Amino acid sequence: MTLPAEPSSRIRVLPIHVANQIAAGEVVERPASIVKELMENSVDAGAIRIDVTVTAGGRKLVSVADDGCGMNRDDALMAIERQATSKIRSTEDIEHIATMGFRGEALASIAAVARFLLRTRPTASDVGSELEVIGGTLQDVRDCGCPVGTTIEVRDLFFNLPARRKFLRTYQTEQAQIRNTFIVQALAHHNLALSLRADGHELHRLPPSANFIDRLRDLYGAEMLAHLRPVEGRLGEVQVGGFVSLPSWTRADRAEQYIFINHRPATAPILYHALREAYPTLEGDRKPIVFLFIDLPPEQVDVNVHPTKREVRFRRPAEVRDAVISAVAKALGRSAPAPAPTPSELPEAPSADRFSPPSAAQTPAPGTIPAATVPRLDPLRHLPFPPARPDPLAPSVPLPQLPPDPGAAQPADAAAIAPPPPATDVIHAATGAPWVWCRLVGRLGDRYALLEADSGYVVLDPPAAHARILYEHLLQQDRATPIASQRLLLPQTVELTAGDALRVRNQLGIFKKMGFGIDALDADAFMVDALPAVLGEVSCRPLLIDIARALEEAGPRRGRERWREEAIARAAALGAISGRSRLSDAELEGLIRDLTACEMPYTCPRGRPTMIFTSYRELARRFGQA
């Protein structure tokens, strides 16, 4: 096809270097984008070590050196052309893309907006090539001596685009972005040796590690691991792993929520939603710290939504959401909110079961002092409305098996600092408890208790600990038996606004299944003569409104599950001892014993800490001895 000759045409083909500069705007936002693109290329090239060097927040220099497969001269020349990629050969490849980047424009874009030097040597060759590109124009190609692999140096970013250069932020901001980019790659590829130098200082030198937890320890130190729980779960084709922070360890923003989909850093709004569901309500809308790895067949993910932001779409979002909710909730010792069944799962058992904690029928761990030797604090004593009372001689709270502990709560060398367990008064913990043994030392003020443990000391908040014990106890009981209903002494009549009444009326069947005795009197009034036993005698009106709203928002199954937990948490808070209670030593010891047997001993059902642990290592550090 030929276009009519039109001398005054306003349409012009852009010179290639201008096109590259425009495209560069998409790929190269700032120095950190270069770090990201180059590191990903090195990973794709099969590198096992990658060294990143920057100066002046990456404005002066970003250099990435790898020991990957390298390129021969022709490949190197190709690589700096737009749309040059060795990673896609057909449209099917796009579906199965396993490499990090596949747009074939990163190198060309970077070379268009900086002084660019590429040095590379493939394994098969004993001489390397060096290419120099300045502002998108190839200056020189020559042989050079260099090790196998590729080194790319990018100098004077945006030297030819003063307007863009002006938009770069302060040194600190750019430097922080670079560091964050580096950390994301370090988390995504724990098996690689990675280093980061900035302005002559080595910020990170990470040895290759056999597993992810070693990488976490190298990046953040061992102390931090005590705040994390391992995540492990599978739903259909979706595998979820990683670590999430305890509800007591949060921050105001999402800066430390690292999510990897098929080992690519990525985000999706639905994942944040899932995290909110999986956690108890966090005060002030704070965000947990998460390192989540979600793996699913590549064709289930659409990764090409945004060139740099990495926001992905899922073909089956409900399945991914439910997998994340269940796995994270399980890690936190919460019962997973029941996922809505997807059509493909209907013939099987309800998917929630695949994630539920192990059954209650488990024997106490060896080394635990039998419950009978120390008087126990009866977890039900303070409940105003005891549900079906268990046999007082049976252990009140069954010992659940915890998911494998990261092993970090007790650093390997802690034994060197920790004294041997004293001969008397020792409380040995069940597997997975925060300590191996501990001993009640005494009281602090009129509320707290002080414990000595094998690897540090613990300040315990007995009311919060008691709420946790009750909560798990009630949850277990509630799970085992159908929801019990308790008649009210006096039936209550509840009048609601038209909107709330409609909501309640629409959910009447579910209310009944939950243990409510409820009937509609007229359009806006209801008679309530029984409540779920776990609640005790409470005022019905706010309850009905809350539940009806929750059901409407979350859908019947999920809403019910959420609400059930909420009700139990509320009951536990009501039933727990108050800050003013004076417990005897024996009662306190019973409480500690019960707490260490909890699935999730670190926080109360509302997410507040039950204890503050300080390791001997931390003490040594603070005393300047470490």
Q: Which residues are near Mg ion by CB under 5 A?
A: 41, 101, 106
Note the Cα 189 to chain centre separation in Å: 17
Within 28-83, where are the H helices?
A: 31-44, 73-79
- Least spacing, CB of residue 82 vs ligand ADP, in Å: 8
Q: What is the rounded distance in angstroms from the CA atom of residue 492 to the CA atom of residue 528?
A: 5
The string of DSSP letters for 74-119 reads: HHHHHHTSTT--SS-SSHHHHHT--SS--SS-HHHHHHHTSEEEEE
Beta strands at 313-314 and 301-302: parallel, antiparallel or unpaired: antiparallel
Binding site partner of 335, from ligand ADP, Mg ion, none, Cβ cut-off 5-8 A by kind: none
Q: Taking CB under 6 A as the rule, does residue 129 contact ligand ADP?
A: no
What DSSP character marks residue 580?
Answer: T
Per CB under 6 A, 157 contacts ligand ADP: no
> Which one of ligand ADP, Mg ion, none interacts with residue 469, CB within 5 to 8 A by kind?
none
In the complex, which residue's CB is closest to Mg ion?
Answer: 101
Residue (109 or 160) nearer to Mg ion, CB: 109
Least distance between ligand ADP and beta carbon 68 (Å): 5
Closest C-alpha among 228, 217, 177 to residue 62: 177
Residues 494-533 that bind ligand ADP (CB under 6 A): none
**Among positions 32, 39, 45, 188, the unique one binding ligand ADP when judged by CB under 6 A:** 45
Minimum CB–partner distance for residue 131 and ligand ADP (Å): 11
Identify whether the C-beta of residue 601 lies closer than 8 Å to the C-beta of residue 488: no
Q: For residues 28 and 38, is the Cβ–Cβ distance under 8 A? A: no
State the binding partner of 66 from ligand ADP, Mg ion, none, CB within 5 to 8 A by kind. ligand ADP
Q: How many residues does the chain have?
A: 626
Helices (H) and strands (E) in the chain, counts: 19, 25
250 near ligand ADP, rule: CB under 6 A: no
Residue 191 to residues 48, 68, 520, Cα–Cα distance (Å)? 8, 14, 63
In whole angstroms, how close is the CB of 65 to ligand ADP at the nearest point?
9
- Residue 87 interacting partner from ligand ADP, Mg ion, none (CB closer than 5 to 8 Å by kind): ligand ADP
d(Cα 252, Cα 357) in Å, to the nearest integer? 30
Q: Least CB distance from residue 144 to ligand ADP, whole Å?
A: 15
Is residue 66 a contact point for ligand ADP (CB under 6 A)?
Answer: yes
What is the Cα–Cα distance from 197 to 157, expressed in whole angstroms?
18
Strands (DSSP E) found in 392-466: 427-428, 437-444, 448-453, 456-460
Task: Show the DSSP H helices in 487-529 as ranges.
Answer: 498-506, 508-513
- Give yes or no for residue 307 binding ligand ADP (CB under 6 A): no
Residue 86 contact partner, candidates ligand ADP, Mg ion, none, CB within 5 to 8 A by sort of partner: ligand ADP
Minimum CB–partner distance for residue 78 and Mg ion (Å): 13
Q: Which stretch binds ligand ADP (CB under 6 A): 79-87, 403-411, 414-422, 487-495?
A: 79-87
* Maximum separation of any 2 CA atoms in the chain, in Å: 100
Q: Where are the alpha helices (DSSP H) in 490-555?
A: 498-506, 508-513, 540-554
- x-or-dash string of contact with ligand ADP, 167-206, rule CB under 6 A: ----------------------------------------
Given Mg ion, ligand ADP, none, residue 507, with its beta carbon under 5 to 8 Å by kind, binds: none
Q: How far apart are CA 348 and CA 329, in angstroms?
A: 21
150 sits near ligand ADP (criterion: CB under 6 A): yes
- Position among 20, 41, 53, 476 found at the interface with ligand ADP (CB under 6 A): 41
Determine contact, residues 440/425, Cβ cutoff 8 Å: yes
Is residue 67 at the binding interface for ligand ADP, with CB under 6 A as the rule?
Answer: no
Q: Which is nearer to ligand ADP, 150 or 596 (CB)?
A: 150
Query: Least distance in Å: CB of 37 to ligand ADP?
Result: 6
Nearer to ligand ADP, 184 or 433 (CB): 184
Residue 102 binds which of ligand ADP, Mg ion, none (CB < 5-8 A, kind-dependent): ligand ADP
If the CB atoms of residues 103 and 447 are measured against ligand ADP, the closer one turns out to be 103
58 binds, among ligand ADP, Mg ion, none (CB under 5 to 8 A by kind): none
Task: Find which of ligand ADP, Mg ion, none residue 322 binds, CB within 5 to 8 Å per kind.
Answer: none
In terms of CB distance, is 88 or 414 closer to Mg ion? 88
Count of residues engaged in binding ligand ADP, rule: CB under 6 A? 22
Alpha-carbon torsion (445, 447, 449, 455), positive or negative: negative
Are 318 and 298 a contacting pair, CB within 8 Å? no
Helices (H), 153-221: 162-166, 171-188, 212-220
426-485 positions binding ligand ADP, by CB under 6 A: none
What's the CA gap between 528 and 519, in Å, rounded?
7
Residue pair 607/573 in contact (Cβ under 8 Å)? The answer is no
Q: What are phi and psi of 193, to 5 degrees?
A: -85, 125
Residues 83-122 that bind ligand ADP (CB under 6 A): 84-87, 101-107
The total of other beta-carbon atoms located within 10 Å of residue 620's CB is: 12
Is the CB of 106 or the CB of 430 nearer to Mg ion?
Answer: 106
Question: Which of Mg ion, ligand ADP, none does 590 bind, CB closer than 5 to 8 A by kind?
Answer: none
From CA 472, how far away is CA 612, in angstroms rounded? 20
From 41-49, 129-137, 254-262, 460-468, span contacting ligand ADP (CB under 6 A): 41-49
Asked whether position 136 contacts ligand ADP by CB under 6 A, the answer is no
Those residues with Cβ within 8 angstroms of residue 490's Cβ, 6 or more apart along the chain or in another chain? none
Considering CB distances under 5 to 8 angstroms, the limit depending on partner class, which of Mg ion, ligand ADP, none binds residue 84?
ligand ADP
C-beta of residue 314 within 8 angstroms of C-beta of residue 303: no
CB of 35 to ligand ADP, least distance (A): 13
561 binds, among ligand ADP, Mg ion, none (CB under 5 to 8 A by kind): none
All residues at 6 or more sequence positions from 623 whose CB lies less than 8 Å from its CB, including other chains = none
Q: Which does 277 bind (CB under 5 to 8 A by kind): Mg ion, ligand ADP, none?
A: none
Residue 53 or 396 having the CB closest to ligand ADP: 53
Contact between 391 and 404 under an 8 Å Cβ cutoff? The reply is: no
- Residue 150 interface partner, choices ligand ADP, Mg ion, none, CB cut-off 5-8 Å depending on type: ligand ADP
Cβ-based nearer residue to Mg ion, 45 or 240: 45
Q: Which residue is listed with tokens 């209310």?
A: 511
Q: Which does 68 bind (CB under 5 to 8 A by kind): Mg ion, ligand ADP, none?
A: ligand ADP
Q: Is 62 in the site for ligand ADP (CB under 6 A)?
A: no
The rounded distance, in Å, linking the Cα atoms of 107 and 153 is 11
Which residues lie near ligand ADP (CB under 6 A)? Answer: 37, 41-42, 45, 66, 68-71, 79, 84-87, 101-107, 150
